[in-house]
Structures are given as structure tokens and as C-alpha cells.
Amino acid sequence: MSVPTTEPGLRERKKAATRLALHEAALSLALEHGPDRITVEAIADAAGVSRRTFSNYFANKEEALFYGQHQRMRELAGMLRARPRDESPWAALTAAAEQFYSAQGDLDPEWTARTRLMRRHPSLAAAQMQTFAAMEREVAAEVAVRLGPAADPSGVRVNLIAATFLAALRVSLTAWLAHPADSTYWEVAAEALAEAGRGFA
């Protein structure tokens, strides 16, 4: 007797569990030993799978470490897509960000610690940036929708809006991580978005 909605199914659930286990193993090993002193083998071991299986899920350590960030980004992208179609691009972006960040009050301190760890390590900078780059593509696609069919999806305007939006979020996060006590992340980000978005509002 199955529920009518498309259930994940055992196979899918197992895959998700393995992926999550690998991600979390990677994170806790990185916290314990430092991100550049961990091996794929150690991560796979800690997650209870073979080294070869790790490669079936992630291309490398960095991808496993940033899986969480990647998921958060996709959540934000989802909220963006759910905004009313007739909202202007910048309005939709700010609204989605507010929904996403201010809702969850302040950021989880454990998450903050992990993020700060990642930021400190230059060997992870590349992976960090790739997360943002991937997100930029998704955001740009949504901006293109809102600018109507006349907008060239590879044109400057669409991508400039997406890039500026993400730059504001990224820079705010860096600054907030440096001085966490002063205010909530969203307060910092909102101001940055207002400033950066003056050309698009």
C-alpha cells in the first residue's frame, strides 16, 4: 500500500544516507585534524564505505566538505523560484534572501564554527568559489525568467544582477564572520544588498 506521492524508495533513501554520512564524516574529520590533513580513505572509513564508493558520490574531498553549503544554496534557490513571477528580479532576490536568512534567526553556532574553519583554509578557497559559481548560474536563470523573454540569458544584465547579489551575500558573510557579535548576519546582508542593488532596484 503506497502513498500516491512519489516516495523516495529504499534505494534513494540509502543513497541519501550514504551521501550525508560521507559529508558529515568529512566535516568532523576536518574539524579534528584540519581540512588538509585528511584523506579520502579516512573519510570513507569513517562513513563505513570503501574508498571506491566515496568516488561514486563525490569527485574529491572538497566536494564532500561543501555538500552542506551546496544544499543550503539550493534551498535558497528554491525560495527564489517560489517568489511571485511579477516581482522584479532584485525584489525577488532580496525577498528570498530575507525569507531564507531572517527566518532562521541567527546562524547556528556550530555551522558558524565550521564555516570559519573552511574560510581560514586557502586550500578550500577554490571549492568555496565553485559553490558560489554554481549558485550564480541558478540565480541567473531565475533572473532571466523575471526579465522576460526579451532578455538574453547570456547577456550582461542578467548575469550582472545574479553576480552582484551573490557577491553581496558572500562579502557580508565574510565580514560577519570576522565580527560576529555586532549584529545578526541578515542585518549585515540586508544593508549590503540595499547598497549593491541601487543600480537594479
Partner DNA sequence: GCCGAAGTTGCCATGTGCGCAAGTTTTCCC
Partner DNA sequence: GGGAAAACTTGCGCACATGGCAACTTCGGC
Give me the residues that bind a second copy (CB under 8 A), please.
125-127, 129-130, 132-133, 152, 154-157, 159-160, 163-164, 167-168, 170-172, 174-175, 178-179, 188, 191-192, 195-200
- For DNA, give the closer residue by CB, 60 or 174: 60
All three cell numbers of 64: 564532500
Q: Is 40 in the site for DNA (CB under 7 A)?
A: yes
Q: Is 174 in the site for DNA (CB under 7 A)?
A: no
Q: Which of 16, 33, 34, 60 binds DNA (CB under 7 A)?
A: 60
Q: How many residues bind DNA (CB under 7 A)?
A: 22
Q: Which of 111, 90, 114 is nearest to 168 (CA)?
A: 90
- Long-range contacts, 23-28 (Cβ 8 Å, 24+): 23/64, 23/65, 23/67, 23/68, 26/61, 26/64, 26/65, 27/65, 27/68, 27/114
All three cell numbers of 42: 579516512
Site for DNA in 92-131 (CB under 7 A): none
Q: Is 49 in the site for DNA (CB under 7 A)?
A: yes
Looking up cell 534505494 gives 11
In order of 3, 32, 99, 143, the CA distances from 80 in angstroms are 29, 36, 9, 9
Q: Which of 16, 33, 34, 39 binds DNA (CB under 7 A)?
A: 39
Cα–Cα distance for residue pair 132/121, rounded to 1 Å: 17
- For a second copy, give the closer residue by CB, 113 or 125: 125
Q: Is 56 in the site for DNA (CB under 7 A)?
A: yes
- By 3-state DSSP, what share of the chain in percent is helix, strand and coil, each rounded to 5? 75, 0, 25
Q: Which of 11, 85, 179, 198 binds DNA (CB under 7 A)?
A: 11
Q: Which residues bind DNA (CB under 7 A)?
A: 9-12, 14-15, 18, 38-41, 49-53, 55-57, 59-61
